[in-house]
Amino acid sequence: KWSCPREIEFRDSLPKTLVGKVAFNVLEQEEIAKLKTAGKFTGN
């Protein structure tokens, strides 16, 4: 079957590392914090 995103978030800019790459760990932490406040986070 096909995979597709559940939602799309548009941003003006993405968090970057000192080298200039996208800081995916920061994006992940933001998403976890958002899910925790909504009461939907089931991880650690």
For residue 32, tell me if it sits in a domain: yes
Please tell me the predicted confidence (pLDDT) of residue 42: 72
For residue 25, tell me if it sits in a domain: yes
**pTM metric for this prediction:** 0.68
- pLDDT-based confidence at 4, cuts 50/70/90? very high
For residue 44, tell me if it sits in a domain: yes
Distance between CA atoms of 11 and 22, rounded to whole angstroms? 13
Could you say which DSSP state residue 31 is in?
Answer: H
For residue 28, tell me if it sits in a domain: yes
Mean pLDDT for the stretch of residues 12-39: 92
Q: pLDDT at residue 25 above 90?
A: yes
For residue 1, tell me if it sits in a domain: no
**How many domains in the chain?**
1
- pLDDT-based confidence at 18, cuts 50/70/90? very high
| pLDDT mean across residues, the chain | 89
Domain that holds residue 16: 12-44
